[in-house]
Structure 1
Amino acid sequence: MGKLLRLALIVLVAVGAVFGGFWYRYVSNTVTPYDEIGIELNSRMPEPIRKWGCDKLQATFVGAIPPYGCSTGNGTTWM
């Protein structure tokens, strides 16, 4: 049972590192804020992490329309 638990923990950490890496690459990119995978990952992050990512994107893409997950109710202003 201990080996199975250890394997599950290793897999969980690896999956978290992969998705976290993709998310960080999205919020720190300089190409476009409209990457579909990045938008989906960012929109599912907890509020404080998503806010930090949106702030980073807004600083990089000044004047751009915010992607899904980074906009307020009207869809044109950043959170």
Structure 2
Amino acid sequence: MKKLVQVLCVVLIGAAVIFGFRWYRYVAFADSPYDEVGIALNGKMPGALRSWGCHKLQARFTGQLPPYGCAATDGRSWM
């Protein structure tokens, strides 16, 4: 049982690192704010991280419409 818990912890930590890196790569280095995987990962992040990611994207892509999850209620301005 102890070995199973250890393997589960390793798998969960590994998944968190992989998805976290992929999300950060989208927010910090993507060529476009409309990357489908990046938008999905950003939408799954906790509120504070999602907000930080949206502000980072807004700073990088100032003249473009916000991606899904970063738009205000009108859908055309950044949150």
1:52 aligns with 2:55: no
Q: CA deviation at 1:30?
A: 4.5
2:75 corresponding residue in structure 1: 75
Render the CA deviation track for 1:27-61: whole Å, top value 9, x for unaligned: 00241100000000001111110000000000001
Unaligned runs of 5+ in 2: none
Give the whole-Å Cα distance in 1 for the aligned partners of 2:75 and 2:2. Answer: 49
My pick for the range that moved more, 9-18 or 25-34, is 25-34
Residue of structure 1 in register with 2:26 after alignment: 26
RMSD of aligned alpha carbons:
0.8
Runs of 4 or more above 3 Å deviation: none
Supply the AA of the counterpart residue of 1:71: A
Q: Secondary structure at the match of 2:29?
A: coil
Scaled by the length of structure 2, the TM-score of the pair is 0.96
Task: Give the TM-score of the pair, scaled to structure 1.
Answer: 0.96
Identity of aligned residues (%): 51
Contact 1:28–1:56 under 8 Å retained in 2: yes
